[in-house]
Amino acid sequence: MKLAEEKNTDMHSAFRRLRICMVAPYLPRRGGVTIQAHMMMDGLISEGAKVVCVDTILHSLSSRFLLPLRMLLQPLFTAVRFLKSAPSCDIVHIHASSMWGFLPVFVCAPLNKWLIKKRMIISFHGARGHLWVCRYASFTVPFLRMADTVVVVSPLLKTAFEKVGLSSEVLWNLVNLDRFHYRERKSIKPNIVWIRHFIDMCDPLTALKAFAEIREQIPEATITLIGDGELKPALDRFIKEKRIEGVRFTGRLPNEQVPFEFGKADIFLNSSNSDGFPTCLLEASASGLPIVTTDAGGIQDMIENNVNGLIVPVGDYHSLAENVVSLIRNPKRACVMGKAARENAEKYNWPRCAHHLAMLYGIENVNA
C-alpha cells in the first residue's frame, strides 16, 4: 500500500477528507492507463482527497522472460494489496483495459462486491476495448456490472457497451497543461514527431511510408519516432530498403523528456489503425502542434477535422503525406491549427474532470 500525501488542499472542495482506493498500473510502468491514473491521482490530492494506490503491476518481474511467473503471481499480489487498502477507503476506483489489463476488474471487483462493499467506479480504457468487450461479453460484462458506475473514455466505447447491455458514462482523458509548453509556430519547419508503441495497432510502418513520400517533395524533412516494440526490426528493414534518410529513433523516453521532443517539432503525425482516446494527441495539442492523424477509434471525438487537426482514413499514407506537406507549405494555416489545438487541449483539464468525478463518486458541491 502506498499513501499519496495530501497537498494543495482546497478547504471548500467536496473531495476533502475523502479516501479513494485507486487500483491501477503505476510508474515505472508506461502507457496511457498509467498516465491517466497518475494525473487523476494528482488532481484528487490537489482537491484535498487522500488517495491510496493499489499497484496492479509486479515491476520486479517486468522482463518478458518472467511473463509466466508474473501471470501466476500478479493476480495474487493485486488481491492482497487490495484487501489491505480498500477497507479503510470510501471509494474504490479501478482503472482497467482489455486483455491483461482486465486483471484489476477480474480480481478486485468481486472482492469489493462481496467483501469490502464500497462504492466502486471502473474506468475502462484501451484502443481496442470496444472490440474486446463485445467479443468476450459473456465473461467481461458480469464483472463490469459489479461496479456502481462504469466509465469509458469515448462515445465509441459507450456505444459498444450499450450493444452488450451495459450502461456507462463518458469521462474524457486528462492532459497536464503545465507539462507541455505551448509554442506558437509562426514558421513551420519540416520536423515531424511520432510517438506510440511499435506494434501493429499503432502502425508505425504507415508513418514511415508517409514520411518516404514527404521526403520526395521536401528532402530536408525529418521525423523523430519515440517508442519501441516488436516492429522495430521491420522498420529498420523498410528504411534500409527504401534508403530513407532523416529518420531518428529515440527509443522509449521517460515521461519528463517527451515535452522537450514535442517542443522541438513542428508537426505531429499519428498513424494508428485502432485507438481509443489517445493521450498523446492531447499532449501534442497542448504543445501547439498541428496534428495529422488517421481516424482510428475515438480520434474523431477529440479532433475536429480542418480545425484543430487533419484526419485521414486508417492506412492512407498517401493522404497523411499530402496533409503534412500542405501544412509545411502553408505555415499560416499550420499556425492557426496549432493555436486551435491548444484551445482544444484546454477542455481536457482537471476542473472539468473533477466536476464529473464528484457526481460519479456521489458527492456534491465540488467547484466546477
Q: Assess whether 80 and 142 both reside in one domain.
A: yes
Are residue 43 and residue 168 in the same domain, yes or no? yes
In a domain, 249, yes or no: yes
Can you tell me which residue has the cell 484528487?
44
34-79 pLDDT per residue, tens: 989 999 999 999 999 999 999 998 766 666 666 667 678 889 999 9
- Chain centroid offset of residue 225 CA: 17
pLDDT of residue 9: 43
pLDDT reported for residue 159: 87
Burial class (CB in 10 A: 0-12, 13-18, 19+), 240: exposed
Same domain assignment for residues 151 and 206: no
Task: Tell me if 185 is assigned to some domain.
Answer: no
User: Same domain for 289 and 356?
Assistant: no
Query: Taking a C-beta distance cutoff of 8 angstroms, is the pair 27, 60 a contact?
Result: no
Residue 299 lies in a domain: yes
User: Same domain, yes or no, for 321 and 354?
Assistant: no
- Over residues 224-256, the pLDDT tens digits come to 999 999 999 999 999 999 999 999 999 999 888
Residue 39 inside a domain? The answer is: yes
| pLDDT < 50: residue spans in the chain | 1-12, 366-368
Residue 308 lies in a domain: yes
Residue-level pLDDT at 157: 85
Supply the pLDDT for residue 298. 85
Q: Is 103 left (phi over 0), alpha (psi -120 to 50) or beta?
A: alpha
Same domain, 143 and 21: yes
Residue 181 lies inside a defined structural domain of this protein = no
Measured distance CA(19)–CA(36) in Å, rounded: 19
Closest listed residue to residue 118, CA positions, set 153, 157, 82 = 82
Residue 183 lies in a domain: no
Residue the block writes with cell 495497432: 201
What cell was used for 126?
484501451
Q: Does residue 160 sit in the same domain as residue 245?
A: no
Dist. CA 209–CA 308, nearest whole Å = 24
**Alpha-carbon gap, residue 313 to 293, rounded angstroms:** 9
315: in domain: yes
SS (H, E, C) the chain: CEEECCCCCCCCCCCCCCEEEEEECCCCCCCHHHHHHHHHHHHHHHCCCEEEEEECCCHHHCCHHHHHHHHHHHHHHHHHHHHHHHHHCCEEEEEECCHHHHHHHHHHHHHHHHHHCCEEEEEECCCCHHHHHHHCHHHHHHHHCCCCEEEECCHHHHHHHHHCCCCCEECCCCCCCCCCCCCCCCCCCCEEEEECCCCCCCCHHHHHHHHHHHHHHCCCCEEEEECCCCCHHHHHHHHHHHCCCCEEEEECCCHHHHHHHHHHCCEEEECCCCCCCCHHHHHHHHCCCCEEEECCCCHHHHCCECCCEEEECCCCHHHHHHHHHHHHHCHHHHHHHHHHHHHHHCCCCHHHHHHHHHHHHCCCCCCC
What's the number of domains the chain is made of? 2
Looking at residue 65, what is its pLDDT? Answer: 67
User: Same domain for 204 and 253?
Assistant: yes
Q: What is the pLDDT of residue 244?
A: 97
Kindly state whether residues 118 and 228 are assigned to the same domain.
no
Q: What is the pTM of this model?
A: 0.85
Domain region containing 78: 2-174+349-361
Whether 159 and 15 share a structural domain = yes
Q: What is the C-alpha separation between 97 and 103, in angstroms, rounded?
A: 9
**CA torsion through residues 12, 13, 15, 16, sign:** negative
CATH code of the domain containing 239: 3.40.50.2000
All three cell numbers of 162, joined, read 450499450
Do 159 and 275 belong to one domain?
no
- 116 and 137 together in one domain: yes
